[in-house]
């Protein structure tokens, strides 16, 4: 696959672009999310939010600094946006969060200006860095360095609620029995409910888990596809999600 170009038929199936309209489509720049799990900013503006009619208009809007991602103006129309990213349309003061969708994989859900200050991130791994500090590596490419005593209480695949203006941790959700889990990948993407079972294996990411949705349906997935979003209620808005999505 060419590194700088992307044919439409090679794009992820969930992207809202037709393979028959043209040959090429915007290829995401290297960034915080992989190609298969992200959308170029131009496609989000043009094909999802429909603020523009064509790519030229989308590039104009983005290039003039009218779009923020996680509180920062992004002028690269190829910039990849993905899971839990906060999108702000500056002229209209509209804010969205990208959340899993049962048929569209990732889709924006409207949020308030207050909630746009926060982002829920999953801890992908932990490393020890110089000075005896622990570094938390998050799913969106962010890294947080904490003193050893504070950092040791966080585990891989736990979630943290951060203030995007200063990357300060505001809350912490452990991926454990009783927590609320959101499936973010696989054939059951979009299901959400309380974690009722975890079957541990030698390799943590190979473990399996079962959640129960609000309508009593039990859904099983691998733990690597599960995103802890809260205890009694979600820490961020995921109201657009359906409890019983159709099979893809």
Give the pLDDT of the chain (248 residues) as one tens digit per residue.
456 789 999 999 999 998 888 899 999 999 999 999 999 999 999 999 999 999 999 999 999 999 999 999 999 999 999 999 999 999 999 999 999 998 899 999 999 999 999 999 999 999 999 888 999 999 999 999 999 999 999 999 999 999 998 889 999 999 999 999 999 999 999 999 999 999 988 788 889 999 999 889 999 999 999 999 999 999 999 855 433 333 33
Q: What is the three-class DSSP state of 67?
A: strand
CB 78 within 8 A of CB 121: no
Pick 117-173's CATH classification: 3.20.20.100, 2.40.50.740, 3.30.230.70, 3.60.20.40: 2.40.50.740
Give residue-wise pLDDT tens across range 166-212: 889 999 999 999 999 999 999 999 999 999 999 988 788 889 999 99
CATH architecture of 179-230: Roll (2.30)
In this prediction the pTM is 0.90
Q: Say if 6-113 and 179-230 have the same CATH topology.
A: no
Picking from 52, 46, 91, the residue whose alpha carbon sits closest to that of residue 73 is: 91
CATH class of this structure's domain 6-113: alpha beta
Give residue limits of the domains in the chain.
6-113, 117-173, 179-230
Alpha carbon distance 81, 84 (integer Å): 9
Distant-in-sequence, close-in-space partners of 93: CB < 8 Å, separation ≥ 6: 113
Q: Give the model confidence (pLDDT) of 22-36 as tens digits.
A: 899 999 999 999 999
Q: What is the DSSP letter of 159?
A: E
For residues 85 and 118, what is the distance between their CA atoms, to the nearest angstrom? 10
Half-sphere exposure of 24 (CA within 13 A, CB side): 10
């Amino acid at each position: 696959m060419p590194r700088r170009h992307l044919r439409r038929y090679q794009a992820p199936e969930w992207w809202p672009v037709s393979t028959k309209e043209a040959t090429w489509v915007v290829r995401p720049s290297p960034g915080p999310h992989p190609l298969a799990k992200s959308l170029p900013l131009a496609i989000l503006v043009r094909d999802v939010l429909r603020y523009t009619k064509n790519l030229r208009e989308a590039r104009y809007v983005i290039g003039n600094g009218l779009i923020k991602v996680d509180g920062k103006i992004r002028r690269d129309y190829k910039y990849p946006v993905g899971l839990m990213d906060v999108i702000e349309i500056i002229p209209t003061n509209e804010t969205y969060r990208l959340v899993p969708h049962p048929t569209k994989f990732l889709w924006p859900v409207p949020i308030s200006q207050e909630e746009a200050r926060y982002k829920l991130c999953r801890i992908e791994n932990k490393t020890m860095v110089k000075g005896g500090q622990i570094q938390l590596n998050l799913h969106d490419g962010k890294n947080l360095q904490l003193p050893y005593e504070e950092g040791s209480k966080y585990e891989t695949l736990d979630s943290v609620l951060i203030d995007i203006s200063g990357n300060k941790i505001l809350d912490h959700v452990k991926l454990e029995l009783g927590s609320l889990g959101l499936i973010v990948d696989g054939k059951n993407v979009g299901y959400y409910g309380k974690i009722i079972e975890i079957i541990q294996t030698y390799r943590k990411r190979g473990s399996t888990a079962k959640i129960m949705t609000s309508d009593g349906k039990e859904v099983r997935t691998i733990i690597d596809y599960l995103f802890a979003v809260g205890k009694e209620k979600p820490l961020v808005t995921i109201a657009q999600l359906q409890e019983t999505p159709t099979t893809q």
